[in-house]
Amino acid sequence: MSASLLSGSSGRPDSLTFSQLIRDLITKVGELMVTQIALTKAELKAESQKLMIAVVLGLVALLAGFTSLLLGGISIVLLLSQWLHVVWASLITTGLYLLMTGLLVMGMVLELRKNSERMQVDTKP
């Protein structure tokens, strides 16, 4: 009976031959591969957008830190120079702004690590 089903001689017009079944299987596997590739591309695009947001935020934070150092630093030096020598006021101001910039960069690194860990968890089988 199985030989008659495989050879297509069962008399039913809807029965498929072995070669037709293999052709359908190959077609469906091909469609599945195309779908998986499209899904992987979409996932990579979403994760790369998250990574890009973190990098842009980091660059904006660095730019804000440098701008603050230039513009706000002069005001702080002038304020501290009322009680301290100008050199000490400049060193204190520089230290404060470097600390602030370091905290912003550290926040960027933590965000990048968090996104990196998400990508590693998502790619594990």
Question: How many Cα atoms sit within 13 Å of 71 on the Cβ side?
Answer: 6
pLDDT band for position 107 (cuts 50, 70, 90): very high
For residues 89-95, average pLDDT: 89
For residues 31-35, average pLDDT: 91
Q: How far is CA 2 from the centre of its chain?
A: 53
For residues 54-71, average pLDDT: 85
Collapsing DSSP states into helix, strand and coil, what is residue 67?
Answer: helix
69 or 36: which carries more pLDDT confidence? 36
CB 68 within 8 A of CB 97: yes
pLDDT reading at 120 higher than 60 = yes
pLDDT reading at 4 higher than 70 = no
Q: How far is CA 83 from the centre of its chain?
A: 49
Of the candidate ranges 22-26, 45-49, 102-106, the one whose mean pLDDT is the lowest:
45-49
Q: Which two three-digit tokens encode residue 21? A: 């079944």
pLDDT of the residue at 51: 86
Question: What's the predicted TM-score (pTM) here?
Answer: 0.41
Average pLDDT of the residues of the chain:
82
pLDDT reading at 124 higher than 70 = no
Could you say which DSSP state residue 15 is in? Answer: -
CB 65 within 8 A of CB 100: yes
